[in-house]
Every structure is written in structure tokens, then in C-alpha cells.
Amino acid sequence: MSYCDTCVVRNRAICAALDNNEINALNGIGRRKTLAAGDPLIWEGDDSTLVANVIDGILKLTNSTEDGREQIVGVVYPADFIGRPFGKTTSHSVTALTDAKVCLFARSDFDRFAHEHPQLEHKLLKRTLDELDRTRSWMLLLARKSAEEKVATFLLDMSERLVDATCAAPHDGPLDEFDLPFSRQQIGDILGVTIETVSRQMTRLKRDGILDLPTRRTVRILDRQALVDMAG
């Protein structure tokens, strides 16, 4: 009897590539860990000794300059994979944004296991290729878009990404109302702007009737088309 039997991401994480025997073997080398919001999991520049699957919660990947400027270079959701297998060092920090549960492996154990299970590597490869595409698209936003375009793009992105988080209704398509899993500071760190700029743009969107902001964390999209036009 393994933890995995009851794992909510069993069929969405890379583990979906494995049959029951294999899952049991994997279970033998992994362990669960619970993180509180704000807890670090991996530090930038650490030796790469850990990899993990996200079971529940949201975590951020960050890079920082020596003088403390921080950039969020990725956000991981349940079923996503964390860490740098087959390599010596990790180039970014991983920190829980919400309370989170992860399934943790020693990198060396995972590397060995992956090597013996090509289907697992295949899943991981697809995931990594997807993530690379997403990351590259984000570069265009960071480098070329105005603050207005950044915020509009971000909100649209969220309304799509958070669909399975709110697994409530089986309707397709993006959400028109959702709770942001980020503070204003974190949104700034994602978009490469300051907290004040995020705030000003949000206020403006509300004033123009494109959004409603019932609470600080809640967003209701009133005019999606306007947002799309604005996203550039």
C-alpha cells in the first residue's frame, strides 16, 4: 500500500507514465513534505540534491541579483515537477506561496529511477519542453510590453491557469472571477514592475469598468475583450 494510491495528482503528474508496480518502486524512494506559505524548499545556487512533484499548493521559482532585486521566473501548480535532475546545481530558488504539499526525492535516487523508466523521462521531457515554450513567451512580455499590457496579459493568463484549481464546474474556458494566489508584490515580481505600478494599473482597470475588485485578492473580469485588446 503506497501513498501514491491516494495521490490527487497521480494521473496528472509525470507519475501517470508508470504502472502500479513502478509506482510502488517510486514510492519507495520518495517522501511527502508539507510546506507552509513562505517556506523555502530550495535555495538558488544550492547543490541540486532534491527534486519533487507538487501535490497541492503553489510555489514560485525565483532568481535574484546580489543587491536583492528579485524576479519570479516560474510558478508551479499541482502536478508540476520541481528541480533539476541530471545536473549539478539549481539556478533558482523555490519557495511556497501558499501552504503546499510536495512529493520529494533525492536527486540521485530520482536520476537512477528515471534512467530505468524511459516513459517517465518522456513525460518529463514533454513537460520541460512546454515549460520552455511558456517561459520564452514570457520573455517577450518582460522585455517589450508596457505596464498596462503586462497587467492585462497577467490577468488573462491567471483566468486560464486557475481553471483546474477551482475544479468546481466542468465548464471549459477561462474564469471570469477568481482569487489571485499572489500579493501585489509577487505580481510585480512576476511582471518585472514595482508594486506601485501594479496597483495603479489595477485601479485604472477598475475605474474604466474593465474589472471589479471586490477584495484585494479577488478579480472579476467585466470586459474580457477590452483586456484582450489591451494585452497587445
Partner DNA sequence: CGCCGATTTGATCGTGGTCAACAATAGTGG
Partner DNA sequence: CCACTATTGTTGACCACGATCAAATCGGCG
DSSP for 59-84? EEEEEE-TTS-EEEEEEE-TT-EEE-
Question: Partners of 30 in the beta sheet?
Answer: 105
Lookup: cell for 213? 475588485
Q: Where are the beta strands (DSSP E) in 84-139?
A: 93-96, 100-106
Quick check: 198 binds DNA (CB under 7 A)?
A: yes
E-strand ranges in 128-216 read 177-179, 211-212
The C-alpha cell at 164 is 483546474
Could you give the CA distance from residue 168 to residue 123 in angstroms, rounded to a whole number?
27
Provide the phi-psi class of 68: left if phi over 0, else alpha when psi is between -120 and 50, else beta: left
| Nearby residues of 106 by Cβ (< 8 Å), 6 or more positions away | 29, 49, 50
66 binds, among DNA, a copy of itself, none (CB under 5 to 8 A by kind): a copy of itself
Q: What is the DSSP letter of 184?
A: H
Pick what 198 binds: DNA, a copy of itself, none; C-beta below 5 to 8 Å, kind-dependent: DNA
Selected from 105, 110, 113, 138, the binder of a copy of itself by CB under 8 A is: 138
Size of interface with a copy of itself, in residues (CB under 8 A)? 43
User: Does residue 157 interact with a copy of itself by CB under 8 A?
Assistant: no
Least distance in Å: CB of 63 to DNA?
17
Using CB under 8 A as the binding rule, whether residue 108 contacts a copy of itself is answered as: no
C-alpha cell at 133: 515554450
| Sole binder of a copy of itself in the list 14, 57, 145, 152 (CB under 8 A) | 145
CB 216 to DNA: min, Å? 4
Which stretch in 87-95, 177-185, 204-212, 215-223 sits in contact with a copy of itself by CB under 8 A?
Answer: 87-95
Q: Check binding of 195 to a copy of itself (CB under 8 A).
A: no
**Smallest separation (angstroms) from a copy of itself to the CB of 72:** 9
Chain positions contacting DNA, by CB under 7 A: 146-148, 183-185, 192-200, 202-203, 213, 215-217
Chain positions contacting a copy of itself, by CB under 8 A: 61, 63-67, 69-71, 73-74, 84-87, 91-92, 115, 118, 121-122, 124-126, 128-133, 135-140, 142-145, 191-192, 232
